[in-house]
Structure 1
Amino acid sequence: MFIMAKFLIVGSGAREASFALQLMKDTQLYGVIGHKNPLIIDCIHQSGGEYIVDDADDPDTVLKFAKQHKIDYAFVNADQPLANGVVDVLLEHGIKAIGGTQAATRIEWDKVYAMEMMQKRCPEFTPFYIVVSDKRSLSQALSEFKSRNLEVVVKPQGLTGGKGVKVMPIHLPTYDDCYNYAMSLFDGRPNESVLLVERLQGIEFTIMGITDGKNLVMAPASYDYPFRYEGDVGPGTGGMGCFTAAEKKLPFMTDENLTDCKTIMQRIIDEMRHTGLRFSGVLNGGFFKTTRGIKFMEFNGRFGDPEGLNVLSVLDGSLASVLVHIWNGTISDDVITFAKKASVTKYLVAKEYPEHSGTATEFTIDVKSIAEMGIKTYFASCIQVGDTRYRTLKKSRVVALGAVADTIQEASHIVNIAIDRHIQGNLEYRSDIGSAESLQRLH
C-alpha cells in the first residue's frame, strides 16, 4: 500500500531502530542518524533508501535531507529534535511530519508547564507540588513539604535524558539533601525553575496514547525498570528494560485505572487542540497507581525507550499505516490494534553505565541465532566493526533484545537465554526484568 512512499526517521537509538524494522516492510526508508546504527543502516539499504550521518537534532540539517530526497512522511520521535522544532520546520516546507510541534511538545521539555496543565484539566489526578522560581523561595517551599510530612521529588524544569530527577530518600536522604540538589540545579540551569513534587507511594507505570490531535488509541501499558542493578537498586538510568502484558492493563491494574489514564490523556489532547497546539504522534503518560487512585507523574511527547520497543513488537499490521492514519486524522481502535501477547525488552550496557566509559568496549553478538529464537535485536549506542563484532560509543545504552510470548515470565526467560548464549563481551544486563520474583513484588 505504501511501497512507493518515502518515510524519514530522525535519530539513531534502539527506538529508531525499531521504527526502521517496521517501516522497511512497506516503505522506502530514509534516515538522518547521529551514528551508524547497524540495524537502521541495514533496514534502509534493504528498503532502497538512503541515510546521512549528521546532527539529527538540527532542524536545518533534517530539512535539507528531506527536501533533497523528496520525503513524503517524516516520523520525528526523539526528545531533542522535537524540542528543537524539527517538526515545525518540516511542516513549513510541506513535508508531512508526524510528531508534536515545538510548542506542543513543551508538555515534555517543560515539566512545570505539564504539571500546571494537569492542575488545570485534571486536578483530581495531580499530586501536591510547588514550583520554585528562585533560590530565595526554596527553603520555604521545602518547609511546606516538611509540615505536610511529605517526602520530595526534585525535578529540573527542562530535559535531562531521564537522569535529572532525584527522589527522597533513595537519592536524597534528607530535606537538606533536597535543598542542596535543588540549589545545584539553579546553579547549573540559571534560567529554569525547579519543580518539587510529593513522592508518591505506589507502583509507577507508563502508557502511550497514539493520537492524531483529536482521536486517541491507547497502547498496552508498560512497566519500566529505571534502576541500574537487579532488585531495583543503584542509580537511575534511561531504562534498563520493560514489559507489557497480554492485555492492555498490567497485572496490578484495574479496568478503572486504565479508564482514568485514558481520561487524563484525552483531556490533555483536547486542551492542546483548543489552545491551537498541533500535537500528533504519541503522548506518553507516566503515572502511579496509589491507594488514592491514579496520580500523574510526567508526560513525554513520543514513544518511550524502551517502552516503544515493546509496544511496536505487539502492534498488529503496519507502522506506516498507523502514521498515515495519524496524518489523515483517521485513527481509531478499529485501525490500530495490538496482539494479545506479552513482551519483554532488556538493555545491555557497559559496566560504567549510566556514567560514560573511559574506553570503548568490544563485544560479539550472533544476531542470526538470536533471530532464530524469535527474538529481535535493537542496536543503540554502538557501531559494527566486523561480521559479529561491535564496539560501544562509550555512552548510553548499547543494545536491546526483545521477545514476545504468551506470558511476561516466558518472554523474560527466553531473552535471558539468548543473551547468555549468543552475546560475549563485557556488557551487563538485568536478568530480573519480567521475572516471576519481580512480578510478585508488584502485587
Structure 2
Amino acid sequence: MNVFVIGRGGREHSMVMKLAESVKVDNIYAAPGNGGISDIAKCVGIDELDIDGLIDFAGKKKIDLTIVGPENPLLAGIADRFHEAGMTIFAPEKNAALIEGSKRYAKAFMEENSMPTAAYASFTDADKAKCYIKKQGAPIVVKADGLAAGKGVIVAQTVQEAISAVDNMLVKNAFSEAGRSVVIEECLNGEEFSLMAFVHGTNVFPMIPARDHKRAYDEDCGPNTGGMGAYAPARDVSPETLSFVTEHVLQKAADGMAESGRPFTGILYAGMIMTNDGPKVIEFNARFGDPETQVVLPLLENDLLQVFLDVLDGKDPCLQWKDQSCTGVVLASKGYPGSYQNGVKLPEMHMEGSSFVVHAGTRKTKHGIVSDGGRVLLAGAKGANLSEATECAYNWLAQNIDSKEFFYRKDIARYQ
C-alpha cells in the first residue's frame, strides 16, 4: 500500500517510524515532513493547509490511505475534501474536529452529554468576563476558544493575572481569531493524564494512558508549552479509572457526536485530571497528542497500518502493548515558547540500546540537520520500568547534546 502522512512534527515522525515497520507498506510519503522523516519517507514540499495540492498529489501517487497529524488541516476540512474526492483518509471531518477547534463548543458538548468536567462560563465581552473572574476568585483558568498552538491556556494564580489574560485575548487580540471568545473554568487540582483512542463512529479502542509535562522549566515552572516531555504508561492510573474514562468520556463522546450528526473517525484524545471527586475532562483533541504519541506508539505491538485499516472496516484491532515503559524528553530551542533562532546545526547523533530520536522542528540541509522550530526533537527510550527508560533517555542527551542554543527539562518522569 501507498501511505500518505500529513504533517511536519514529532507526532508525524513517530507515526512514520511505526508505519515503516509494516510489511503491508510499499511507499510512505509525507507532506511536508521534516529532517528525520526524510530518512524513512519521501517528503514532498506541500503545506499541510494546501488541501488542493495534497489531493492532487494523493491522486497522482495512487495513495491508499492518508493520515493527518496536526489539527489545523482538520479544522480546514481536509477529511471532507478527501472524502469528496473518493479517497480514504483516517481523520475526522470538520464538524467533528470542532471538539478540539472550539473549547466553547467542547464544554457545551460535555455538559449536554453529562461528562465530568470543570464548571465554566464563556464570554466574548471582556467586562463581563472580568466580573465573572472577580466573583469566582483565583486560582482560575482562562482559555482562548480556538486553536492557539498550545499557548492559549492561562492557569491564573491571582485575579489580576486572570484579568490580564482576558485583556490579552479579548482586547489586545493576542491570539487573533482563536481568542475572540474565551472560556473561563474552575481550576482543578490533581494529576493529569492523557488517554487516546482509535475511533470510528461509535467504535472506541483506547490506547494506554500517558502523561506529558507542559511547563517549560523544571518543577513545572515557567510558561505553558506544547509539551516538554512525556512518558507511558502512566501506571498510577488504575484499571478502574481507565474503564471509567473509556465508558463515561470517550464512548460518551463518540456516541454523542454520532447522535448529533457529527460522527467521529480518527484519534480522539481525552486530556484528563484525577481530582478528589474522580477523573474529569480538561479538554479533547481530535488527533494524536504531541509528545504523547512519541512514547505511546513505541509500545504498540500491532502493525499500525493494520490498526488503521481494521478500525475503518469496523473491526476490533485487538490492541496489544509491550510490558515496558517509555520516556521522551523534548530538546527545545533557547527562548521557546517565546522567540528563538532557527537554523542551528544539530550534532551528529548516535543511537544505542533502546534509545531513539524523534525529529520535530528540524530540516535537512547540505550542511546537515538544522533546527526549524521551538521543539526540535525528542530523545526517547524504552525500558523494563519507568526509571530505566528515563535514565536511558537522559544518558543519550548528556552524551549527544552539548549546545547553549538548546535546553531541556531535567525532571521529566523523574518525580513519579
Matches within 5 A, 1:14-163: 14-25=10-21, 26=23, 27-34=25-32, 37-44=34-41, 50-123=42-115, 125-146=116-137, 151-163=139-151
1:7 maps onto 2:3 in alignment? yes
Q: Could you say what secondary structure the match of 2:411 adopts?
A: coil
Cα distance in structure 2, aligned partners of 1:357 and 1:126: 36
The one of 265, 268, 291 aligned to 1:283? 268
What is the deviation of 1:330? 1.1
RMSD: 1.7
Contact 1:344/1:404 (CA < 8 Å) preserved in 2?
Answer: yes
- What is the correspondence of 1:305-344 to structure 2 with a 5 Å cutoff? 305-332=290-317, 335-344=318-327
Secondary structure of residue in 2 paired with 1:363: coil
Partner of 1:346: 329
Q: CA deviation at 1:386?
A: 5.9
The residue number in structure 2 matching 1:405 is 383
What amino acid is the match of 2:319? I
Contact 1:58–1:86 (8 Å) recurs in 2: no
Q: Which residue of 2 aligns with 1:256?
A: 240
Aligned to 1:271: 256
Matched to 2:200, the amino acid is: D
Verify: 1:167 aligned to 2:146, yes or no.
Answer: no
Residue 29 of structure 1 aligns with an amino acid whose one-letter code is N
Check whether the contact 1:349–1:396 (CA below 8 A) recurs between aligned residues: yes
Distance 1:424 1:33 in 2: 31
Query: Are the structure 2 counterparts of residues 431 and 386 from structure 1 closer, same or farther at C-alpha, using a change threshold of 3 Å?
Result: farther
TM-score, with length taken from structure 2? 0.94
Alpha carbons 1:211, 1:331 under 8 Å: kept: no
How many residues end up aligned between the 2 structures? 408
Please, which runs of 5 or more residues in structure 1 have no aligned partner? 45-49
Moved over 6 A (4+): none
- Match status 1:215 vs 2:203: yes
Structure 2 residue 402 is matched with structure 1 residue 417:
no
Q: Could you say which residue in structure 2 is the equivalent of 1:47?
A: none
Matched, 1:178 2:166: no
Q: TM-score, normalised by structure 1?
A: 0.88
Post-superposition offset of 1:17: 0.7
The 1-side partners of 2:168 and 2:395 are apart by 43
Post-superposition CA distance 1:332-385 (Å, at most 9, x none): 5xx22211211101111112111232453222032xx31x32212111111234
Report whether the alignment pairs 1:391 with 2:370. yes
Question: 1:423 offset after TM fit, Å?
Answer: 3.1
Counterpart-to-counterpart distance in 1, 2:302 and 2:117: 36
Q: 1:373 is matched with which residue?
A: 353
2:197 counterpart SS class:
strand
For residues 257 and 302 of structure 1, the distance between their equivalents in structure 2, rounded to whole angstroms, comes to 22
Equivalent residue for 2:410? 431
Instruction: Say whether the 8 Å CA contact 2:20–2:28 is kept in structure 1.
Output: no
Cα offsets for 1:203-256 (capped at 9, x unmatched): 1111111112221111111111111111111111110100113xxxx3432333
